[in-house]
């Protein structure tokens, strides 16, 4: 039987999704002063420092040595790979389109859960996957310049969606052992370490970057970074990975509105049409795509 969500979990879902929705516009704003890798390091360097301070106050214990490889894998997927791919993708893809592509994440979560967690897909599920991929293809065409042309950067965002889906699947067993905040801290710290290759570039760009871009990077680290990941780790600790990730498909609407208000960005009609098609497919997979276990 599906679990009922308590009020605290619902609040965590809503706040985390709103903060993550704002990140797409925040990334665009941050790219006005920083390179994609440097912006990712500024964001998660900020989040790491914030979490180190909190961990010192509460005397957070270190993870068990045996769990470090899996936590490191989660960090590499959900922090390093996801955010570098998304940032590089947003150098050419609009914030709204990026959020629409990322909303396909539940599709990949369902596929990965089928392979690694032995969840089964129904005919509706496979049909939804086909519809969703058709929508994503339309988005990649709508983001091209000069009409319907293929936008290669959209493929980076699609790879980011796959990375975050894998993060949900890898993280789930760890959240049975560690608190959401502890796991968030561990995964962000380990996921930030590979980004240190961008430290020389960040130190060069910081003095010359517009204040608005720097503040955007700090905002990304504190709110869509540390706070949103901690909130969604709480959600993931309460629900199966495939169900927790399905909430992501409501994110593009708020992301598009925030991008319009913050950076005056309006996606093309083709992009919006592709997003609508993709969301129909994701909704099918999320609601009717999996074989339910017998009660």
- Report the percentage of the chain scoring pLDDT > 90: 37
Q: What is the pLDDT of residues 204-221, one digit of tens each?
A: 999 999 999 999 999 999
Average pLDDT over residues 35-58: 94
Among 162, 194, 272, 182, residue whose Cα is nearest residue 230: 182
270 vs 266: CA distance, rounded Å: 12
d(CA 5, CA 27): 31
At 269 the pLDDT is: 81
Quick check: 240 and 109 in contact, CB under 8 A? no
Kindly report the CA angle at 258 between 79 and 158, in degrees rounded to 5? 40
Q: How confident is the model at residue 2 (pLDDT cuts 50, 70, 90)?
A: very low
Each residue's pLDDT tens digit, 87-140: 999 998 888 888 878 877 777 777 777 777 666 777 877 787 778 778 777 776
pLDDT of residue 192: 97
pLDDT at 243: 63
Cβ atoms within 10 Å of 260's Cβ, excluding its own: 15
Contacts (Cβ under 8 Å, ≥6 apart) of 218: 42, 46
- Please give the average per-residue pLDDT across 148-166, as a whole number: 81
The verdict on pTM exceeding 0.85 is no
Percent residues over pLDDT 70 in the chain: 84
Compute the distance between CA of residue 178 and CA of residue 75 in angstroms, rounded to an integer: 15
Query: What pLDDT, in 10s, does the model give residues 187-205?
Result: 999 999 999 999 999 999 9
Distance CA 167, CA 232 (A): 12
Structure tokens at 7: 């009020």
- How high is the pLDDT of residue 247? 67
pLDDT value of position 286: 62
Instruction: Give the number of other Cβ atoms within 10 Å of residue 200's Cβ.
Output: 10
Residues 47, 221 contacting (CB under 8 angstroms): yes
Q: Which residues of 155-178 are buried (b: 16+ CB within 10 A; e: fewer)?
A: bbbbbbbbbbbbbbbbbbebbeeb
Rg (CA), the chain: 18
Q: How far is CA 48 from the centre of its chain?
A: 17
Confidence label for 294 from pLDDT (cuts 50, 70 and 90): very low
Residue 100: per-residue pLDDT:
77
Q: Which residue has the higher pLDDT, 268 or 250?
A: 268
pLDDT of residue 280: 81
DSSP-H helix ranges across the chain: 7-30, 36-58, 68-75, 82-89, 95-102, 105-116, 123-142, 153-171, 180-192, 199-205, 211-220, 228-238, 241-246, 251-263, 269-288
The pLDDT score that the predictor gives to residue 153 is 82
| DSSP type of residue 81 | I
Cβ atoms within 10 Å of 14's Cβ, excluding its own = 14
Mean pLDDT of the chain: 83
| pLDDT tens digits, 12-45 | 888 888 898 899 999 999 999 999 999 999 999 9
Residues 67, 88: Cα–Cα separation, whole Å: 30
- Residue that is written with structure tokens 């970074």 in the block: 225
Gap between the Cα atoms of 276 and 118, Å rounded: 29
pLDDT digits (tens, 9 = 90+) for 70-90: 999 999 999 999 999 999 999
């Amino acid at each position: 039987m599906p679990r009922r969500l308590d009020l605290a979990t619902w609040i965590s879902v809503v706040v985390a999704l709103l903060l993550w929705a704002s990140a797409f516009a925040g990334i665009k704003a941050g790219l006005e002063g920083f390179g994609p890798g440097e912006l990712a390091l500024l964001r998660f360097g900020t989040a790491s420092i914030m979490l180190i301070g909190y961990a010192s106050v509460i005397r957070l214990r270190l993870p068990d040595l045996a769990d470090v490889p899996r936590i490191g894998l989660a960090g590499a997927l959900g922090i390093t790979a996801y955010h570098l791919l998304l940032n590089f993708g947003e150098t050419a893809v609009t914030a709204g389109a990026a959020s629409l592509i990322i909303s396909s994440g539940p599709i990949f979560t369902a596929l990965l859960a089928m392979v690694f967690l032995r969840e089964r897909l129904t005919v509706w599920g496979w049909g939804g996957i086909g519809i969703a991929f058709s929508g994503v293809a339309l988005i990649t065409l709508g983001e091209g310049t000069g009409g319907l042309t293929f936008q290669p950067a959209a493929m980076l965002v699609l790879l980011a969606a796959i990375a975050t889906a894998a993060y949900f699947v890898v993280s789930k067993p760890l959240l049975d052992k560690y608190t959401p905040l502890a796991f968030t801290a561990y995964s962000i710290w380990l996921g930030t370490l590979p980004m240190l290759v961008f430290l020389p570039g960040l130190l060069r760009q910081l003095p010359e970057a517009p204040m608005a871009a720097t503040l955007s990077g700090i905002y990304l680290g504190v709110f869509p970074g540390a706070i949103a990941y901690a909130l969604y780790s709480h959600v993931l600790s309460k629900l199966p990975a495939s169900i927790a990730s399905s909430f992501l498909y409501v994110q593009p609407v708020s992301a598009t509105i925030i991008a319009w208000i913050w950076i005056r960005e309006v996606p093309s009609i083709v992009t919006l049409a592709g997003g609508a098609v993709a969301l129909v497919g994701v909704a099918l997979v999320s609601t009717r795509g999996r074989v339910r276990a017998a009660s």
